Amino acid sequence: MTAATSAKPFRLLPDDPGRAALVIIAGFTALRIVFAVLLGFGVDESYTLGQARRLALSYFDHPPLHLWLANISMAVFGMTWAVRLPFILLFSGTSWLLFALTRRLFGGWEGVWAVAALNASLFFLASPGTWIVPDGPLLFFLAGGVLALARLFFPVPGETPSPWTAWLVAGLCFGLAGLSKYSALFVVAGLAIFLLASEHRRWLVHPAPYAGAILAALAVSPVILWNIANDWASLRFQAGRGGGRGLTLAAFAQMLAGQFVWLAPWIAVPLATIAAQNLRLLKDPPRLFLMALAAPTILYFTLQSLWSGWALPHWPMPGWFFVFPLLGAWMVANPAASPLPRAWAGWSAGLAVAIVLVVGGLGATGLLTRMGVPVRADPTIDAFDWAALRPVIAAKGAARGAGPVVVGLTWNEGGKIDLAVGDRADVMVIGPDPRGFAFRQVPRAYQGADILIVALAGTWARQQATLQGQFAVIGEPERLSIGRGGRPELDLVVVPARGLKSLSPVSVAAR
């Protein structure tokens, strides 16, 4: 057995690491396309696509880049699964950038292992790899910026990289990462830690990094301009999500468990173990580079759950992204480990394929509810579109001679409504948390207009009393059951109303 053969994660891969990485990337790209076809749009994707119909400098929940990309994708593909295609292809590019980064720091086969593990991880397989979320462009541009600097910090023999090119490319990439998601700042902070802790601190007295920082600021300027114009609403919203609630060990435990599940347990254990082992190897510049990039994101968002009372387990994932090269290096250096790395790779890839097919199939067919599982216990229930709402709204608009205004009662239900009918009717959200809907709603424009309130039956029952003070007239609710394959799964109500008075709930006591 040759050295190349023993280093392969899968026996049938080509002998050239670059070609082998392309084969793995192509295989997982095809798997993601299957996933995209099978699984409908989730709550966040539905909300994002609805918001993306209207171009803006930035948006309430996140910076704008993924919404701009979604807007272009909708113009090209319409409202079909294919709007995910640019995000799928973008992650294919991210995978190649990870391979190139790992190859430069450790070697070609190490890069192949890193790419295989990254793509088999559940979070990276599904969320930034398939779905319309900000993490896709975030990771692509973070990887691009880091690779540009790795060429400068770790040149191969005979290579004389230009510091101006490296820092300007990195600045542009980091700016575009910031135009994707605010958490890009933590990776940039990790870069600063690396510079201060290594011989590369000499770059701090060179003008090129500061020129790159100016370029980054220009790239992210739409976010700043939007926030200035909107009383810093987006930044205040994101900062408020980490508000203190005292010591909460339960939330911390949930955060750890959530990362464990999202990464996939069979990948999370070796990934975390290798990250811990590398804390003893920080004198090695490439390892220090990766650990400095990874640590701020992982540590901040994990520890934040201790005082905030909650956190979402996908928030630290951009940090874990930079640990995968270390995992790849370990796998090549320990081919006889137990369990055997190649066996682990085979099981990881096989489980990734199985999970995609099972989850995608369940989402497409609603099989769990057909088998008697309660709707609320079906994890795929949010991943189907409320398309049945469209003809109902169209018929009611035709009966009135004009398209009605459609009102949701929560931002997540509003996203589903907007995805289904937003190109046929104005959609807004009434309630204490309208999210991005609040920045496109002009209540006086709807005074006297026909309004249709659309909500899940349970939401309507909870909020019906507070709505009485927001309209002059509220009619009788009409029931509409929707589901997959013609089987009723969710009960909606469609309620006619007139005379909008307020977008905010009015308590019974206040009335």
Instruction: List the one residue out of 207, 218, 132 whose CA is nearest residue 174.
Output: 218
Query: CA 455, CA 463: separation in Å to the nearest integer?
Result: 10
Element (H, E) at 454: strand 451-456
What contacts 217, CB < 8 A, 6 or more positions away? Answer: 175
pTM, 2 dp: 0.94
Section 460-481 average pLDDT: 89
Query: CA 363, CA 380: separation in Å to the nearest integer?
Result: 5
The sign one gets for the Cα dihedral 111, 116, 119, 123 is: negative
Confidence of residue 394 (pLDDT cuts 50, 70, 90): confident
Q: What is the DSSP letter of 494?
A: E
Section 429-434 average pLDDT: 86
What's the pLDDT tens digit per position in 19-59? 999 999 999 999 999 999 999 999 999 999 999 999 999 99
Section 488-493 average pLDDT: 93
- State yes or no: pLDDT of 510 exceeds 50: no
- State yes or no: pLDDT of 402 exceeds 60: no
Confidence of residue 1 (pLDDT cuts 50, 70, 90): very low
Could you tell me what percentage of the chain is helix, strand and coil, using 3-state DSSP and rounding each to the nearest 5?
65, 5, 30
Tokens, residue 15: 């002998």
Identify the bridge partners of residue 478 per DSSP, sorted by sequence position: 494
Confidence of residue 61 (pLDDT cuts 50, 70, 90): very high
What's the pLDDT tens digit per position in 113-171? 999 999 999 999 999 999 999 999 999 999 999 999 999 999 999 999 999 999 999 99
Identify whether the C-beta of residue 349 lies closer than 8 Å to the C-beta of residue 11: no
What's the pLDDT tens digit per position in 177-186? 999 999 999 9
Residue 14: what are its φ and ψ, rounded to 5°?
Answer: -60, 160
Instruction: List the one residue out of 292, 281, 282 whose CA is nearest residue 323.
Output: 292
